[in-house]
Structure 1
C-alpha cells in the first residue's frame, strides 16, 4: 500500500490531510493571516470514490468537483514547492491565542444549513470541516464563519473549459488536460492499477478570488506525470 492509500485508510474524508508530502515545508503554529496566496482546492468526486468506494455519497457519485478547502500558502522556493502555514496561532477565529483552536459546533451547523455550501462539499462533511478549520482556517485570518462563507464566495474561482465535459470517462494527454484549465492551476493525480487519474485541482488566488500568478511551481500531493491521464465518470 503506497503513501496515498495508507493515508486514506486513516481518514477518507481528510483526503490524505494528515500525511505530509515528501518536500512539504509545513510551518506549523505560524502566526495567522500571514501568507502569500490561497489555493482553492477541489476534488474530482468520481476519482475519490474510485479510491474509497465505501465513503458516504459514493454509492451514487456525481461528476462534480467538490470543494476540499481553502489553503493559505507561502511562495515556493528552490527547495520546496509546497510551503503552507498550518494549525496557526493568534487566529481571529479563536478565543485562544497560543494554540490552533477547534471548530465551533454552532458555526459548523450554520455553514451546513446554507444550501449553497452543502451543494459544493461532499456528503457528511463534518470531519472535513473540523480538519479544514484547524489546519488551514486558523491560518486564514478571519472568523470561523467567514472562512466557510468563503468556500461559497470564492467558488467562482473554479472554472474550466466546457470541453472538459467531453473527456469524462475517457483519457487524454496531460498537456491537453492542462489547456482546459486556467494558468493559475496546479494538479494532483492518483495512481491505481497502472493508470493515472486526475484527482484534485488547485486554483491559486488572492483573497478576492483573483488569479495569483506569481508562483507557478506549487505541487501538492502526487504529481501528475507526463502521460495519459484518465478522468473517471460516475
Structure 2
C-alpha cells in the first residue's frame, strides 16, 4: 500500500514538473532586467514596433573600414535609411524567433534595397527581428516599407552638403513639426560619443505613433552631435 502511494505521488510530481515546463514563458533577463526572448523561440505577442531610421553618413564615418561598402561607397546619396522595424515589449524585446525561412530571397532583397541599402543588414534584420513579428517574410518587409512611408523626413535633412553640428532636441523638434500626431514621448534621437546616429519612432501594430517611455529614455544627451554630409550623388 505504501509503495502504491509513493508511486502515485511520484507520477503526480512528474506531471506537475512537465506542466510547468510547458506553460512557463521562455524569457531570459538581460543585464538591465528587460525581458529578452531566448534564441529560437516563437514570439508574436509583442506590444509595439520601433522604426529605426539611421543617418547613413554617420554610420559610414563611425564604422570606417567596417562599414558596408555598398551603402557607403556605392555612389548613391543616402541620407536617412531604415535600420529596422523591431517588435518590442514595454521593456525589452524578442529576438531570433523560430522560422522555417531563415534566409531572405534575392527577390525580397532587391525589393527593399532602396530604403535598406545593404543585403547584410536586410538579412540580419529579418533573422534578429522580423522572425518575431509573426508575419511571413514578404509581409514583414512590406510592413517595413509602409512604416517608412508613414514618417515624413524634415526637408532640412533630405540632404546635407557639409558637416553640421546639431542639437538633438532641434532634430527631434524638426521631426515633430513634420509629423502631426508624433510626440516627444513617441521617439528618441540617439547618438554615440560624436555622431548623431538614429531616429527611433514607436508605432502600434497598425503603425500609429504611440508612446514608449523606455525607448524615449534612450535619447542622446550630448548638447550637440555631428551630422556628416551625404555621400555621393
1:190 is matched with 192
Q: 1:53 aligns with which of 64, 71, 80?
A: 64
1:148 is matched with 141
The separation in 1 between residues aligned to 2:154 and 2:33, in whole angstroms, is 30
Is 1:45–1:66's contact at 8 Å kept on the other side of the alignment? yes
The separation in 2 between residues aligned to 1:159 and 1:216, in whole angstroms, is 22
Q: Give unmatched runs, 5+ long, in structure 2.
A: 1-29, 177-182
1:66 aligns with 2:60: no
The separation in 2 between residues aligned to 1:172 and 1:28, in whole angstroms, is 38
1:1-234 matches, within 5 Å, as 23=32, 25=34, 26-29=36-39, 30-54=41-65, 55-57=68-70, 58-59=72-73, 60=75, 62-76=77-91, 83-89=92-98, 94-95=99-100, 102-103=102-103, 105=104, 108-114=105-111, 117-123=112-118, 125=119, 127-164=120-157, 169-182=163-176, 183=183, 184-191=186-193, 196-213=194-211, 215-218=212-215, 224-234=220-230
* Count, aligned residues: 187
The separation in 2 between residues aligned to 1:170 and 1:150, in whole angstroms, is 32
Is 1:174–1:228's contact at 8 Å kept on the other side of the alignment? yes
Is 1:41–1:202's contact at 8 Å kept on the other side of the alignment? yes
Query: Which structure's residues are more often helix, by fraction?
Result: 2
Moved more, 158-167 or 27-36: 158-167
String of CA shifts for 1:28-54, please: whole Å, max 9, x gaps: 245421111100112111001111233
Structure 1 consecutive aligned stretches of length 4 or more whose deviation exceeds 6 Å: none
Is 1:39–1:73's contact at 8 Å kept on the other side of the alignment? yes
CA drift of 1:27 comes to 2.4
Instruction: Please report the TM-score for the alignment, with normalisation by the length of structure 1.
Output: 0.69
CA drift of 1:175 comes to 2.0
1:16 is matched with none
Instruction: Please report the TM-score for the alignment, with normalisation by the length of structure 2.
Output: 0.70
Is 2:50–2:88's contact at 8 Å kept on the other side of the alignment? yes
Is 2:62–2:195's contact at 8 Å kept on the other side of the alignment? no
For residue 72 of structure 1, give the secondary structure of its aligned residue in structure 2. strand
Q: Give unmatched runs, 5+ long, in structure 1.
A: 1-20, 77-82, 96-100
Asked which structure has the greater CA Rg, the reply is 2
**Structural RMSD (CA):** 2.7
For residue 218 of structure 1, give the secondary structure of its aligned residue in structure 2. helix
